[in-house]
Structure 1
Amino acid sequence: MNTYTEAISWIHSRLKHGINLGLARMEWLLEKMGNPEKELKVIHVAGTNGKGSTVTFLRSILNEAGYEVGTFTSPYIETFNERISINGNPVSDADLVKLVRIVKPLTEELEAGELGPPTEFEIITAMAMYYFANIRSVDFTILEVGLGGRFDSTNTVHPLMTIITNIGMDHINILGDTVEKIAFEKAGIIKEGVPLFTGAKQQEAHSVIRAEAEKKHAEVYQLGIDFSVENHESVPGGEKFTYLSRETQYENMKLSLLGRHQTENAAIAVASLMYMKENGLLKLSEKEIRAGLEKAYWPGRMEVLQQRPVVILDGAHNTEGLKAFAATMNNRYEGKNIKMIFAALEDKDLSHMLPLLKTMNAEVYFTQFDFPRAASASKLKEIGKMEDASVEEDWRALLRRMVNELDVEDVLAVTGSLYFISEAKQFLVNLLEEI
């Protein structure tokens, strides 16, 4: 294993083992690696949507306070390396090769045993934990759950803090077909005596989460009860709001990320870090919180690539994400001529997602991309029952035509699967530079 290309190729070769939830393989790997997870000060983040943005707010605020912060997130938007980052900077190609050299022989040993082959996600998780503990030491590590929580490979840590951003109907074939079942899987990250901060809104989810927290003697701090977003206002270039808790009121907080839902993710980040401050786990000022929130950047989430005409990328990859996308578009671009390009995976809840496209006054263009679970453009139109929608199989040709035809007051939104957004972003950036 001498080159970055070889390392990435080997990692991706593990995709053939699919999704195989469980902790036994991960625990075996970590033990062989010297249990690096025990050296980390972890904030563990689960949820249906908003995990990546919340991780970004946490990281950005901690960076402003002078802390070194490692983050593990998925999927990637621009480069694979960004899944393992320090202070927002992706792991270097050389360090990634070094990590693969460490984990590859262990993977082969594990695969030959009774536990069977580890998945790609398990391998990357182990690499991230080893990296933050032994190669690039950090003050705090923020781990984003990959799927669910209870049996996710990140759930081998004992964190300082757990966060569940929200609960929505996603991955129902794996996590369950009700809010209660999904909430139970997410609540699996709650640890004995470790406080939980949550943005879950449904009463069914609250009941499950609180029941699990009580079993673990974990305090629960809930958005809308223990802390809240007040006086929200969409402003040019972002959002403005007041953060309110029993002890604190911060007025005119500013975000560069778009959408009311981002103010809620930001509030969860602030509340959890304030708790850590109050319990002597870190030092933090109001000035650092404000600067961290305003500087936070997360690609592919209501990301404005161009202002005139407006071109937006957003990974609205499930029902909850599409609701937030629609609300933000209707709030910010009411009355505008909106053209929307949409692609999705066929195992998503398309029957509930696609009707949400009708809530926006937009010209809809369905497309498809080269990915094993991607839905065809024609299937999206059929399920969505949108006679006026257009179908274009070649997303590159569609983007090129749309960009060239945009009027200065138009809005072009490219949305749907995060995997599609990842493919489309650099192509779209290059197109805009050509004009």
Structure 2
Amino acid sequence: MVGREDYSKINKKITAAKAVKPSLARVGMISEILSWLGNPDKRLRIIHIAGTNGKGSTGTMLKSILQESQYHVGHFSAPAIQDDLTMITIDGQPIGQKDVVKIVHEITLQIKKHDGDFSLLSTFEWWVLIALVYFAQQDTQFVILEEGPGGSNDVTNAVRTPYLIAYTKISVDNICSTGSTLKQVANEYAKIIKPGALIVSYPGQDYDVQKVLHEQTDAVHAFWNPYPLPQITILSTAPQGLSLKIDDIPDIHLPLAGAYQASNLSTVLQIVNYLQQKGFQLSKDKTMAALSNISIPGRMEYVADRNILYDGASNLDGISGLRDSIKAWHLPFKPVFVLGLLDDRNAHEIIDLVASIASTIIAVTPESKEGMSAEAMASYCLHNTKNNIDVEIADDPSAAIQLARKYRASSNALIVVTGSIYTLRAIFNEEEG
């Protein structure tokens, strides 16, 4: 009998697993472990989602459409904003604790048979393996697999026969190690293209990125999406979401904030169109019904009754999209930002972007050894930003949200919680708890 305590112990062990540098050797090791487990990935129709920004939105929209059409859909998306179990879902329901314990025991047994132990795998590697085994055991009809750090060294690249590979926006991300120039990043992402897979791509992709992806598709005998892109027009944008015209369908409400979500939606609809051409039953009515009810925790998620926007924008490109969206809303008051960042080389540029649209920045230190301290962020804001903004230092997530509410007490200003996923998770859980 598996109890809650068993899961708690295993989850702590997974969370405490050693950090490892992604590499092709690690990918090869995961492929070998999958073979020991009976190649669960080869029994799955996997839609592999890769890119720098937008994977969560793209994956969730696609999952909702497939689920609305009564397909049995597995979805892996990491890291978790809430409970770790929510990284692995089937038809929207998280994996159960008993299933995690059982699968971990199966994986551990196979590793021990080959002279390894629990410590062989990193945290992310554990969750990817658990997801693939679980999805195969549950006979899912589709699996939406979102990559992690990205590129050929990402553990999800161990999947050998993806049905389809979808690229979201690709840009330089200094948190990850996919490259220091856009061309290097594009080449790294292109290496995950497998022979026979169908490739679709974000419509706003940089020209050179698109060229690299096309060339690799041809080189490995994969197939570029042959069908026309959907025609999407943004009619209006607000924190509550977008009003869109999609092809000949007017006034579709997409409850995701941010104009760039229209481009993510284009990627999703390319996939839907391809699946329709292959005979899968995905009606226009059910597709639109699914889109009208989308909700994605922590990704441009607007909570109306609190007037708070949660967005896990952790890199320069993501923060730029957030800034552009806020400027397009023409809000009556500048937002109050709760901001925590990892201390990478773009941190100061990110602060500059936030300062250009904020009335106040509440600086908080992420719960990560790579986190920029709240004191360092506040010092930079006070001495280097050009805008006249208020800056406060919060000791913890609870203090941060209380300070934010205090600063907007005299107005109906939007509170924006963004930056490091560690900050977002802590404050999101503080609010929900």
Could you say which residue in structure 2 is the equivalent of 1:130? 133
Could you say which residue in structure 2 is the equivalent of 1:336? 333
The one-letter code of the counterpart of 1:212 is: Q
Change in CA separation of 1:90 and 1:215 when aligned onto 2, cut-off 3 Å:
same
Could you say which residue in structure 2 is the equivalent of 1:234? 237
Matched, 1:183 2:186: yes
- Answer yes or no: is the 8 Å Cα contact 1:148–1:182 preserved in 2: no
Could you say which residue in structure 1 is the equivalent of 2:262? 263
- Answer yes or no: is the 8 Å Cα contact 1:20–1:119 preserved in 2: no
Could you say which residue in structure 2 is the equivalent of 1:141? 143
Matched, 1:392 2:408: no
Q: Give the 3-state SS of the residue equivalent to 2:180 in structure 1.
A: coil
Aligned pairs for 1:245-264 (under 5 A) are 249-264=248-263
Q: CA RMSD in A?
A: 2.3
The one-letter code of the counterpart of 1:300 is: G
Could you say which residue in structure 2 is the equivalent of 1:350? 347
Q: Give the 3-state SS of the residue equivalent to 1:142 in structure 2.
A: strand
Q: How far is the alpha carbon of 1:174 from its aligned partner?
A: 1.6
- Answer yes or no: is the 8 Å Cα contact 1:342–1:364 preserved in 2: yes
- Answer yes or no: is the 8 Å Cα contact 1:230–1:242 preserved in 2: yes
Looking at structure 2, the residues matched to 37 and 304 of structure 1 have their Cα atoms a distance apart, in angstroms, of 35
Looking at structure 2, the residues matched to 19 and 89 of structure 1 have their Cα atoms a distance apart, in angstroms, of 31
Residue of structure 1 aligned with 2:281, choices 277, 280, 283: 283
Residues 238-263 of structure 1 show CA distances to partners (whole Å, capped at 9, x for unaligned) of 2122234xxxx433332111111111
Could you say which residue in structure 1 is the equivalent of 2:311? 314
Residue of structure 2 aligned with 1:61, choices 65, 74, 80: 65
The one-letter code of the counterpart of 1:288 is: K
TM-score (norm 2): 0.90
Residues 399-420 of structure 1 show CA distances to partners (whole Å, capped at 9, x for unaligned) of 2233255335221111111121
Q: How far is the alpha carbon of 1:108 from its aligned partner?
A: 4.5
Aligned pairs for 1:79-118 (under 5 A) are 79-108=83-112, 112=116, 117-118=120-121
Looking at structure 2, the residues matched to 119 and 186 of structure 1 have their Cα atoms a distance apart, in angstroms, of 21
Residues 53-83 of structure 1 show CA distances to partners (whole Å, capped at 9, x for unaligned) of 0000000000110111000111100110011
Residues 19-45 of structure 1 show CA distances to partners (whole Å, capped at 9, x for unaligned) of 332221101110111100011011110
Matched, 1:371 2:368: yes
Change in CA separation of 1:172 and 1:342 when aligned onto 2, cut-off 3 Å:
closer
Q: How far is the alpha carbon of 1:107 from its aligned partner?
A: 4.0
Q: How far is the alpha carbon of 1:369 from its aligned partner?
A: 2.8
Q: Which moved more, 1:152-161 or 1:3-12?
A: 152-161
Q: How far is the alpha carbon of 1:172 from its aligned partner?
A: 6.3
Q: Which moved more, 1:393-402 or 1:315-324?
A: 393-402
- Answer yes or no: is the 8 Å Cα contact 1:368–1:374 preserved in 2: yes
- Answer yes or no: is the 8 Å Cα contact 2:68–2:290 preserved in 1: yes
Matched, 1:298 2:299: no
The one-letter code of the counterpart of 1:133 is: A
Looking at structure 2, the residues matched to 93 and 177 of structure 1 have their Cα atoms a distance apart, in angstroms, of 40
Aligned pairs for 1:137-216 (under 5 A) are 137-157=139-159, 158-171=161-174, 174-199=177-202, 200-216=204-220
Looking at structure 2, the residues matched to 323 and 148 of structure 1 have their Cα atoms a distance apart, in angstroms, of 20
Q: Give the 3-state SS of the residue equivalent to 2:338 in structure 1.
A: strand
Q: Give the 3-state SS of the residue equivalent to 2:157 in structure 1.
A: coil
Q: How far is the alpha carbon of 1:374 from its aligned partner?
A: 1.2
Q: Give the 3-state SS of the residue equivalent to 2:120 in structure 1.
A: coil
The one-letter code of the counterpart of 1:214 is: D
Matched, 1:418 2:417: no
Could you say which residue in structure 2 is the equivalent of 1:433? none
Q: How far is the alpha carbon of 1:348 from its aligned partner?
A: 5.8
Matched, 1:274 2:273: yes
Change in CA separation of 1:297 and 1:348 when aligned onto 2, cut-off 3 Å:
farther
Q: How far is the alpha carbon of 1:314 from its aligned partner?
A: 1.1
Residues 65-122 of structure 1 show CA distances to partners (whole Å, capped at 9, x for unaligned) of 0111000111100110011111122111111111211122334556749xx9332212
Looking at structure 2, the residues matched to 332 and 340 of structure 1 have their Cα atoms a distance apart, in angstroms, of 16
Looking at structure 2, the residues matched to 402 and 33 of structure 1 have their Cα atoms a distance apart, in angstroms, of 49
Q: How far is the alpha carbon of 1:311 from its aligned partner?
A: 1.5
Change in CA separation of 1:373 and 1:419 when aligned onto 2, cut-off 3 Å:
same
Q: How far is the alpha carbon of 1:7 from its aligned partner?
A: 1.3
Looking at structure 1, the residues matched to 176 and 281 of structure 2 have their Cα atoms a distance apart, in angstroms, of 43
Q: Which runs of 5+ in 2 are unaligned?
A: none
Q: How far is the alpha carbon of 1:140 from its aligned partner?
A: 0.5
Residue of structure 2 aligned with 1:73, choices 71, 74, 77: 77
Residues 116-156 of structure 1 show CA distances to partners (whole Å, capped at 9, x for unaligned) of 9332212211111100001x221100000112231211122
Identity %, equivalent residues: 26
Change in CA separation of 1:147 and 1:401 when aligned onto 2, cut-off 3 Å:
closer
The one-letter code of the counterpart of 1:258 is: A
TM-score (norm 1): 0.90
Could you say which residue in structure 1 is the equivalent of 2:8? 5
Change in CA separation of 1:344 and 1:181 when aligned onto 2, cut-off 3 Å:
same
Q: How far is the alpha carbon of 1:318 from its aligned partner?
A: 0.6
Q: Give the 3-state SS of the residue equivalent to 1:368 in structure 2.
A: coil
Looking at structure 2, the residues matched to 348 and 6 of structure 1 have their Cα atoms a distance apart, in angstroms, of 37
Residues 376-423 of structure 1 show CA distances to partners (whole Å, capped at 9, x for unaligned) of 012224455237452414132232233255335221111111121111
Could you say which residue in structure 1 is the equivalent of 2:377? 380
Looking at structure 2, the residues matched to 253 and 191 of structure 1 have their Cα atoms a distance apart, in angstroms, of 35
Change in CA separation of 1:161 and 1:299 when aligned onto 2, cut-off 3 Å:
same
Looking at structure 2, the residues matched to 358 and 405 of structure 1 have their Cα atoms a distance apart, in angstroms, of 15
Aligned residues: 419
